């Protein structure tokens, strides 16, 4: 299986009040096409910084990140923005959407902005409607973002992340602001999208969420300390055993 994301000796340093803060230290890992990979670790360990840096949302200090063969550090600002828009999807804990647009218009905005997506405005709207129906929120397409629940809004964010048919989705604590029921729904949608071929890299603090992933990377103090392979989640009855296995591994690491 080919790697879609290759990270080698990645470092990220911030200068705060003339002091150097090394958030990521020589991080190396790969993500294969079709994988669903979780990143876990204590607060302040560098999880979100890692996600933002390997997706090109934040600049790296040194090292190399290759996405579908493209060296992100070698791309200029415009080409990097186009790559993120056309080939990547993003989901965040804070569900950023424009208040002056309906849910549907928010969802299709990346398609409208894309230079690569040559579909007509009507076709893009239809794509958005189809995604909303698939995610069980088709009936609220014309609603404002303050007229829906948190779970519905996060599913709309998933639809937005999929509108340009990305190769890979990057998700930063996508269930962190949701109750357990909504969290289950959102996680199951990510598992379903992954089963259809979309690669997913997600940051989570929730072992219940991570137990549905193929593989878990554990980061501490800016380093990948270990990884745990769970395999594809195909049988819901295996979830309890997977979660127990994962928690035992996390405890051994000092979780």
pLDDT digits (tens, 9 = 90+) for 119-146: 999 999 999 999 999 888 999 999 999 9
Please name every residue paired with 67 in a beta bridge, in sequence order, or none if there are none: 5, 70
Contact 26, 11 (CB under 8 A): yes
Distance CA 10, CA 60 (A): 7
Q: Is the pLDDT of residue 35 over 90?
A: yes
What's the pTM value of the predicted model, to 2 decimals?
0.93
Question: What is the sign of the dihedral through the CA atoms of 70, 73, 75 and 79?
Answer: positive
Cβ-based burial of 178 (10 A; exposed 0-12, middle 13-18, buried ≥19): buried
Question: What is the sign of the dihedral through the CA atoms of 90, 93, 94 and 100?
Answer: positive
* Tens of pLDDT, residues 175-195: 887 888 888 988 998 999 999
Q: Is the pLDDT of residue 213 over 90?
A: yes
Domain 3-252 part of CATH 3.40.50.300: yes
Residues 6+ apart with CB under 8 A from 96: none
Three-state helix/strand/coil letters over 185-233 = HHHHHHHHHHHCCCEEEEECCCHHHHCCCCEEEEEECCEEEEEEECCCC
* Tens of pLDDT, residues 144-167: 999 999 889 988 999 999 999 999
Task: Between 21 and 245, name the one with better pLDDT.
Answer: 245
């Amino acid at each position: 299986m080919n790697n879609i994301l290759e990270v080698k000796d990645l470092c990220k340093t911030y200068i705060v009040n003339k002091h150097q803060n090394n958030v990521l230290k020589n991080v190396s890992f790969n993500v294969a096409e079709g994988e669903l990979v979780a990143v876990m670790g204590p607060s302040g360990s560098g999880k979100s910084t890692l996600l933002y840096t390997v997706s090109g949302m934040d600049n790296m200090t040194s090292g190399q990140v290759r996405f579908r063969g493209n060296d992100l550090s070698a791309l200029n600002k415009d080409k990097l923005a186009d790559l993120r828009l056309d080939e990547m999807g993003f989901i965040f804990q804070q569900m950023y959407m424009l208040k002056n647009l309906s849910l549907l218009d928010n969802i299709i905005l990346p398609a409208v902005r894309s230079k690569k997506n040559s579909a007509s405005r009507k076709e893009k709207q239809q794509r958005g409607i189809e995604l909303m129906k698939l995610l069980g929120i088709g009936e609220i397409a014309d609603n404002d973002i303050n007229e829906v629940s948190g779970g519905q809004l996060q599913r709309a964010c998933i639809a937005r992340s999929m509108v340009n048919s990305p190769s890979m989705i990057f998700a930063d604590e996508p269930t962190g602001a949701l109750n357990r029921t909504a969290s289950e729904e959102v996680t199951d949608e990510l598992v379903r999208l992954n089963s259809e071929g979309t690669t997913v890299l997600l940051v989570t603090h929730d072992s219940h969420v991570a137990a549905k992933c193929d593989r878990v990377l554990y980061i501490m103090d800016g380093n990948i300390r270990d990884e745990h392979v769970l395999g594809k989640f195909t049988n819901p009855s295996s979830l309890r055993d997977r979660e127990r296995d994962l928690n035992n591994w996390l405890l051994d690491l000092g979780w």
